[in-house]
Structure 1
Amino acid sequence: MSLLKQLTRWKIRGQIDQDVIDIILTLQSRLEHHWRIDVSIPTVITLLLHIANSLARLKRGGCVSPLHQPFYDEMQSAVIFPNVLEIHHDLLSFIPQDIPEAEQSYYLANIYSLLLEQDKK
């Protein structure tokens, strides 16, 4: 299922609102045009859907537990981690709300997975 179809389904169900959809589409465009990432691959769709869920959860007053620390430590020690952080901070600049560190840890994990996949191509 396409990203937009899934976002639309969630909006119809009341799980997300149009503001979240607009942010996600902005992030998708940023990844595609600025970072030159193929936004049709499943890893990108997973990243963007995770962010959509996260933004909706935060609007409802919720927050996830932080990413499992050993995985986070592994990510931080990776050669590509500076690139992960660069993309992460860039994407955060398009989100008009503060994102708790626990939520951000999953954004980082998704970006990390995305860059690992891109390196294999």
Structure 2
Amino acid sequence: MNVNTILNEAIASVKGAQFAGIVGTDGLSVAMAYHPNAAELDVDIELAELELADLTSRAAAAANRIGAGYVRDLVLETDAMLMLATQIIPGYYGVLGVLSEIANLGKARFALQAMVERVRVEL
């Protein structure tokens, strides 16, 4: 199955999801998909993907420095969005962004984990 199809299905499976993707700790986005209405937001979701890549990189470096092992999950909750990252393989994370006002953390985490498992099969 195509990775873009997996990302779009993850967006469709979570109410309020605005983007899903794969980012690397090198700061680059590997693949991203956006909800059709995401352009209407006051949030720069294209910048969000780059910032999430940077956050995963910094979190991984911090965990390494303190000897805590690999960072498996990150959750960033803001006024506007709930953003999650889950490790696919070391150096790569699946990310999901959901509108905070209608976000359900449990459902978002479940959908992201399912997306990551499907992406692993494709890699």
TM bucket (normalised to shorter chain) is 0.3 to 0.5
Greater per-residue helix proportion:
1
Instruction: Flag the structure with larger Rg.
Output: 1
Q: TM-score, normalised by structure 2?
A: 0.32
Greater per-residue strand proportion:
2
